[in-house]
A and B are shown apart, each in its own frame.
Chain A
Amino acid sequence: QVTLKESGPVLVKPTETLTLTCTVSGFPLAKSTVGVTWIRQPPGKALEWLAHIFSDDEKSFTTSLKSSVDISQDTSKSQVVLTMTNVDPVDTGTYFCARIFGKFDYRRLDYWGQGILVTVSS
């Protein structure tokens, strides 16, 4: 059974660094055809892709946050970590991690975590 679960702080102050962890089970992060992505959703708004990582360490980031976002993985712990520096209240929202299936053909997000609501406020 494939599962993903987000964890991290629910309240962060402006200018601080936000670190979120996605712990996966039911599939190995080392599998070549799958990866993990982070998606966020401001309250009442649409989904926004942030970053992804694959087993060969291929990484990609949204252009608007490229200088402040990083993604890494620890395959031995089955974890993917998203780091966002210098956060702002506009970064408030629900953060989801999801599995990317089909790296070499039609990529789709076939399993999602439940999401974690992060509020950026002083």
Chain B
Amino acid sequence: DIEMTQSPSSLSASVGDRVTITCRASQTIFSYLNWYQQRPGKAPRLLISVASNLEADIPSRFSGSGYGTDFTLSISSLQPEDSATYYCQQSYISSPLTFGGGTKVEI
């Protein structure tokens, strides 16, 4: 199984700050990396697919980068509604399809 490791597990930042979350795969996954946002009590929402493709209706302050084993999710100017837990997920091997442990972002 491919293990996904996120860091940090939580962070606190202020409105307007730039925030970066990292995700590392235990083996190369090329660009098979997706990012999700989960607000409290809600279902996850797809933010970024194929490592860097921003999904429709996702604000442009979100961006993704990386290839191989190391990936990052950045929020350029943190907003109050970005308070959530963020998960990376690999789809290079879809069985099992694995998620990172999550990064909780507090404003």
Contact = CB atoms under 8 A, between A and B. Distances in A.
Tell me whether chain B's interface is mostly helix, strand or loop, or mixed. loop
Interface residues of A, number: 22
Given A47-B99, A49-B99, A60-B94, A108 B46 contact: yes
A108 B91 contact: yes
Interface of B: 1, 31-32, 34, 36, 38, 42-46, 49-50, 55, 87, 89, 91, 94-102
Contact of A106 (B38, B49, B99, B100): B49
Contact of B99 (A48, A110, A112): A48
Grouping DSSP codes into helix (H, G, I), strand (E, B) and loop, the A interface class, with mixed when no group exceeds half, is strand
Interface in A27-53: 37, 46-49, 52
Contact of A112 (B45, B89, B91, B101): B45
Contacts, number: 63
Interface string A79-122: 00000000000000000101010000011111011110000000
A15 B43 CA distance: 28
A59 B7 CA distance: 32
Interface of A: 37, 46-49, 52, 60-63, 96, 98, 100, 106-110, 112-115
Contact of A46 (B42, B50, B94, B102): B102
